[in-house]
Chains A and B, each alone.
Chain A
Amino acid sequence: MAQTHGSHESNVGLIWKVFGLLSIVTIIEVAFGIVKPAYMHFTNFLGTSLLNWLFLILTLVKAYGIAWYFMHLKHEKAALRRAIVWTAVFLIAYLATLLLIEGGHLGEIFERYTSWS
């Protein structure tokens, strides 16, 4: 069958490589999440700790691995890829930025109700 229809090469090697990458990233995340090294945990860079920045960046690395290789975005036409990725990234970044700023603001102006003491 493969000879008659097989216009596609097998990508099994690449798939296992990506799985290895995703596993390593997850192990790093979990290790840092359990140990929480003080030199990263008790810092503040652009509103949150360096540890949290590490988690966010590693999350995006994993998302890239899944979308590009497992969902085959790499092999789609550039126009389709951009229609998907740019739309989602722009709207999500926009929404998250606004809502997080708004959340901090709500915490301040409703301090009477949100503050613990």
Chain B
Amino acid sequence: MEATVATETSAENTWNGGGSKPLGSSYGKMMMWFFIVSDALTFSGFLAAYGLMRFKFLESWPIADEVFTHVPFVHGHFPMYYVAFMTFVLIFSSVTMVLAVDAGHQMKKAKVTLYMFLTIIGGLIFLGSQAWEWKNFIAGTYGAVVMQDGKIAQFVDKDGHQIALDDFVVASSEREQLTRNKGVWFMKDEGSIPPYTLEEVVSSFKANPDVGLRTELINFDKKQKTLMTKEEANAFLTKAEGVVMGANLKVNEYGNTLFADFFFFITGFHGFHVFTGIVINIIIFFNVILGTYERRGHYEMVEKVGLYWHFVDLVWVFVFTFFYLV
């Protein structure tokens, strides 16, 4: 009964549920847990929807290793390394958070301050890394050709490795990007145009015998995308509609549109959680410095934001698995 009856009504106890402790946990901590459960269900709904669409388009879904290949300051094909770094940053910031909670239990204000600070820094590094990952995803690496029905075809060298449009396309004319200050004043700015026209890409492809064309179809014996013969490719390119570089919500060079949509939505939603986590951590950080929790006699607020922060880490573990590994 004690759990359901409000025992104290003083203003000081408004936000900690009074003296009642349902399930041996404070009111605020339990509510944080219930929020986390519902948020976990939201994320699992998104990830399950990703799984639904991936299973629907199983034979042509993009292969993650060929999409996320960038490492800062290094050129080349390095799948996994950077996202592994991001995972470490987030796990480590979880460690500093739990160290802050631990120091809070012992009322060591200086240690809590230091560990909260490190947690915030870790969060900022992760958020910056994610922004960089988005930048590469949006700008694109190779470029591709999009068909009238929305299919994507990518270009490869003799060994079947993907190559960029820059590597083989000979530009015959420079088409300038129209902007309002160069064009007609009542025009809207046009969307960014691909670096080459379709005609340039197709004629360069025909002229160069070393360049091959790759379809979205996965060869499940090799778990690689299927290559076309030169004749098939030339016939196929007559149905091409345009050149695509990078990714937006309507079309992307990696393959199925839904792949990019889910990438933006799920990593974006997770990134937004990281952002709010950092903001909350900063607020708590200043409260720690001001001595709010020292006066209150306990550091339970640090524990509560800690739960949220660990949850953000927990979600990333699953996003990492389902977007990059599986």
Q: Which residues of A contact B306 (CB under 8 A)?
A: 70-71
Main secondary structure of the interface of A (DSSP, over half): helix
A103 & B55 in contact (Cβ 8 Å cutoff): yes
A5 & B24 in contact (Cβ 8 Å cutoff): no
Closest chain B CB from A65 CB (angstroms): 9
Say if the beta carbon of B313 comes within 8 Å of chain A: yes
Alpha-carbon distance A42/B40, docked complex (angstroms): 32
A66-B310, A79-B23, A99-B49 are known contacts. Are A107 and B56 too (CB-CB below 8 A)?
Answer: yes
Closest chain A CB from B237 CB (angstroms): 16
Closest chain B CB from A39 CB (angstroms): 13
Taken residue by residue from 40 to 74, chain A's Cβ proximity to chain B (1 for < 8 Å, 0 otherwise) reads as 01100000100010011001001100110111100
Say if the beta carbon of B106 comes within 8 Å of chain A: yes
Q: Report the contact-size class of chain B (Cβ under 8 Å from the partner).
A: 35 or more
A59-B318, A76-B25, A116-B151 are known contacts. Are A66 and B94 too (CB-CB below 8 A)?
Answer: yes
Closest chain B CB from A11 CB (angstroms): 6
Alpha-carbon distance A96/B43, docked complex (angstroms): 12
Alpha-carbon distance A87/B47, docked complex (angstroms): 18
B102 & A11 in contact (Cβ 8 Å cutoff): yes
A19-B92, A66-B94, A80-B33 are known contacts. Are A71 and B311 too (CB-CB below 8 A)?
Answer: yes
Please choose the segment from B12-20, B79-87, B120-128, B192-200 that sits at the chain A interface, where 4 or more of its residues have CB less than 8 A away.
Answer: B79-87
Q: Return the chain B residue nearest A93 by Cβ.
A: B44
Alpha-carbon distance A12/B97, docked complex (angstroms): 12
Closest chain B CB from A27 CB (angstroms): 8
**B interface, CB within 8 angstroms of A:** 23-25, 30, 33, 36-37, 40-41, 44-45, 47-49, 51-60, 65, 79-81, 84, 87-88, 91-92, 94-95, 97-99, 101-102, 105-109, 151, 215-217, 221, 223, 297-298, 303, 306-307, 310-311, 313-314, 317-318, 320-321, 324-326
**Beyond A1-B108, A5-B106, A67-B314, 19 extra complex contacts between A and B, CB < 8 Å:** A2-B106, A2-B108, A4-B107, A19-B95, A41-B223, A55-B326, A59-B321, A66-B310, A66-B313, A70-B97, A70-B98, A80-B23, A80-B30, A88-B41, A92-B44, A100-B55, A103-B53, A106-B52, A116-B60
Counting from the closest, the 5 A-B pairs by CB-CB distance are A103-B55, A8-B105, A103-B52, A80-B23, A116-B217
